Amino acid sequence: MYHNPVLLKESVDALVTNPDGVYVDCTFGGGGHSREILSRLSEKGRLFSFDQDLDALKNAIDDPRFTLVNQNFRFLENSMLAYGISHVDGILADLGVSSHQFDEAERGFSTRSNAPLDMRMNVMQGLDAKKIINDYEEEDLANIFYQYGELRESRKLAREIVHHRKTKKINTTEDLKNLFSYIPAFKQNKFFAQVFQAIRIEVNQELEVLKEMLVQSYKILKVEGRLVVISYHSLEDRLVKRFLKNGMFEGEPQRDIYGNYAKAFELLKTKAIIPDDKEIEENSRARSAKMRIGTKL
């Protein structure tokens, strides 16, 4: 299986409110969510799905209501306008790395396999993990590990990388892991997951791309249209939660004399929706998933 979609029924139940409407799946992948969305649409309904990964194009759905857009979802608004669509009824984004991308060892996403330092979701782009590890300044590396990996020892990690690469390039995931072989065995899984997450976010500009998509989603959603976002780590979830609350990522919204501010969305549920034990047992990658749903006001 290319990718086992997380919170499949729950997400599409929340998303599709008008069977005749126009919907967007920002992260097509294996097409699991897209197929479920199409099953809820009438002959008049339309679905546009985005994916920048060339591998995902092999999963295109043969359905006249379906259009697969080979683009990063940061180009959501302009891409939809190119198809003559200015407003949509719902947008779904299942963030993060697909099962397929993790399982394809040569992509370099997984901590379990020895592979070239790559981590590009779009293999056509120039920046990859190898360039970041071997070319970035020490301070920039430290900032990446601290901000995107939430690693308190970020400066030490960056210093060790810079020291090592003076004599030998760091080319593979195993080269990188060997630098930190002193990490106690019981801490290694979490530690390397944080290191790889930090590098991957920088390679793909994931948080900036997410912000751009959220802002554009608000612009093209119809009033009462639904935005459904499934995230897999606290950095993503924090941005989504804040944006759904007040349409901002930082700072405080402007309030009236009574202390109220204009809301961007009405939350369907105040707390994030998480997979149940059965789904986590069947799909371990669902363990960290959090889904938030907003209705545009």
**What region does 212 belong to: left with phi over 0, alpha with psi -120 to 50, or beta?**
alpha
Contact 30, 49 (CB under 8 A): no
Is 13 annotated to bind a ligand? Reply is no
Query: Please, what's the b/e burial string for 240-264 (b: 16 or more CB within 10 A of its CB; e: otherwise)?
Result: bbebbbbbeeeeeeeeeeeeeeeeb
Is 73 annotated to bind a ligand? Reply is yes
**Terminal-residue alpha carbon distance, the chain:** 38
**What region does 229 belong to: left with phi over 0, alpha with psi -120 to 50, or beta?**
beta
Is 62 annotated to bind a ligand? Reply is no
Is 31 annotated to bind a ligand? Reply is yes
Q: What angle do CA 288, 291, 297 make, to 5 degrees?
A: 155
Instruction: Name 58's Cβ contacts closer than 8 Å, sequence gap at least 6.
Output: none
Cα separation, 129 vs 75, in Å, equals 23
Is 128 annotated to bind a ligand? Reply is no
Residue 77 structure tokens: 């608004």
Long-range residue pairs from 97-104, CB within 8 A, at least 24 positions apart, any chain: 97/121, 97/200, 98/2, 98/3, 98/27, 98/29, 98/30, 98/53, 98/56, 99/1, 99/2, 99/3, 99/4, 99/30, 99/285, 100/2, 100/3, 100/29, 100/30, 100/55, 101/53, 101/55, 102/285, 104/55
Question: Hey, is 152 helix, strand or coil?
Answer: coil
What residues form DSSP beta bridges with 261? 255
Is 94 annotated to bind a ligand? Reply is yes
Query: Which segments are annotated as binding site for S-adenosyl-L-methionine?
Result: 31-33, 51, 73, 94, 101
Binding residues: 31-33, 51, 73, 94, 101
